[in-house]
A and B are shown apart, each in its own frame.
Chain A
Amino acid sequence: MIGWGARVTEPERPVLLEYLATHFGVTRPQPAPSPAGAELLGTRCHVCHDSALIDQQRLNVDGWRREIGKMRAWGARLTDPEQATLADYLAVR
């Protein structure tokens, strides 16, 4: 419906989805890819190689956590919470 022209702002989305889920049994969507995740990917990951090595992977969130852990050991600069955010992002995007 948003695609059909209805106007829903970004902050309104979760509220509306929650309402639809409770009242009409609409299934809750997968967590949307977070802008924070995209930002981390763009600033911390394309340092030593480009995105091709990342884009071709088919990992789930656990796989991504481990892979990002390896990259941190090799020099990628992320905190633990950032690692979690990025793993979630890469698994759903």
Chain B
Amino acid sequence: MHSTVTAVKGAGTRRSFLAHVCRLGGAALLGTAGSRERAFGAQLPNDQLIIRSARPEDLETPPHLLTSWITPTELFYVRSHFYTPVIRETEWKLVIDGDVDRPFELSLGELRRLPSTSAVVTLECAGNGRAFFEPPVAGVQWEKGAVGTAEWQGVRLADILARAGVRRTARYLWLDGADRGIDRAPDFIRSLPLEKALDSTTLLAYQMNGEPLPVPHGFPVRVVVPGWEGAYSVKWLTHIRVSDSEHGGTFTQAGYRRPRRPVKPGTIVDAADTVPVRELPVKSLITSVAHDAVVALGVVRIAGFAWVGDAEIRRVDVSIDNGRTWEETRLGRDRAPYAWRQFEYLWRPRETGSYAVLSRATDSRGRVQPIVAEWNPAGYLWNAVDQVRLNVRLE
């Protein structure tokens, strides 16, 4: 059977296009990006997403479309370092080796037959908000919407590791997917500390929101590392190598690191003075109203989401007077250990005018979302107090 993603709505045209690119092979590397890129863009699953890059595929969700606790799959942001690999379901296998007593391989059928679990987890790209850093830094210029929440179903990574028999020397897992560096670019490999791999919510997910993982989200299997920046959640997973050390490649030694101590904005920081980016910091995002919305004088629903990687959201406050005073919002009922929490505040403006609406989250460890995000050379973990403009008119 050739079908890989038949269960995914609207994936047909997209798959045939991918197959087409594949057949072109090397030719896809040699220019004429223009016209083909546009053709691809036209077949993206949802034209409401902001295309930061068509190929490799980087798509951002406009915040005002994030209205539900669980993000609909077709609105979920996409981040890919390299071209999306095409994987035949029947040919896929996962290799587990390295510092283990019993290295083994799994087919997709075998993986699906193992005891499974599901969890609602928020994923956010480390570079979400990079576009706001001054001075500017290189990288995909994400604004606010490289974040989303899905229900992931799959097998606990801990179960797989138990079966392999992790040796005492093991400290990291090297996670590799089927995507390959383009030309001389290095392979995208991440290393996950063993302790986090053993967290009962760390999954090898093969379903997203009740359907097989769509190709852009890592079909057939991706890792889901809850609470940590999105790049740990390696897509198109094919190889887990257990090791006593961190992987030595670009995407662990150069990428996804931040300065050990705060630095003057614009500084170039030596890799030796950096640490890996891990937990997502406390953050909130206003999704209602949309930025620069015009509303009629009356009740205005101010709402959004707040999340943090290694704690719970305790409260979210909003300000409508440029941060002079803050009002506590009501938190939504839906919650899960590593999922965002919705907040809502109904505001009745007394007068027409144009207002800055701010939101600020506080977590269970007392950490408050900062007013200024910490500048770092790669523009990671932007988490400054959120702000949208709201224009209130008579009509």
Contacts and interface: CB of A to CB of B under 8 A. Distances in A.
Contacts of B136: 57-60, 63
Interface string B39-57: 0000000000001111110
A26 B55 CA distance: 45
A56 interface: yes
Given A52-B51, A52-B52, A74-B185, A46 B135 contact: no
Interface in A28-78: 46-50, 52-53, 56-60, 63, 66-67, 70, 73-75
Given A52-B54, A60-B135, A74-B182, A47 B34 contact: no
A67 B53 CA distance: 17
Contacts of A70: 138
Contact of B53 (A47, A53, A59): A53
Nearest to A63: B138
A47 B30 contact: yes
Contact of B138 (A49, A50, A67): A67
B53 A75 contact: no
Nearest to A46: B33
B181 interface: yes
Contact of A53 (B30, B137, B140, B183): B140
B282 to A, nearest CB: 27
Nearest to B133: A58
Contacts of A49: 33, 53, 55-56
A66 B183 contact: no
A57 B30 CA distance: 23
Given A73-B184, A74-B184, A66 B138 contact: yes
B141 interface: yes
Given A46-B31, A48-B29, A53-B53, A74 B181 contact: yes
A43 B18 CA distance: 24
Interface residues of B, number: 24
Contacts of B199: none
A66 to B, nearest CB: 7
Interface string B128-150: 00010001111011000000000
A45 B306 CA distance: 39
B31 A47 contact: yes
B52 A56 contact: yes
B321 interface: no
A58 B185 contact: no
Nearest to A67: B138
A1 to B, nearest CB: 34
B37 interface: yes
Contacts of B56: 49
B52 A48 contact: no
A89 to B, nearest CB: 16
Given A47-B29, A49-B53, A56-B141, 6 more contacts: A48-B29, A48-B33, A52-B51, A63-B136, A63-B137, A75-B184
Interface of B: 29-31, 33-34, 37, 51-56, 131, 135-138, 140-141, 181-185
14 contacts: A46-B33, A49-B33, A49-B53, A49-B56, A50-B33, A50-B54, A52-B51, A52-B54, A53-B53, A56-B131, A57-B136, A66-B138, A70-B138, A75-B182
**Leading 4 A-B pairs by shortest Cβ distance:** A75-B183, A58-B136, A74-B185, A75-B184
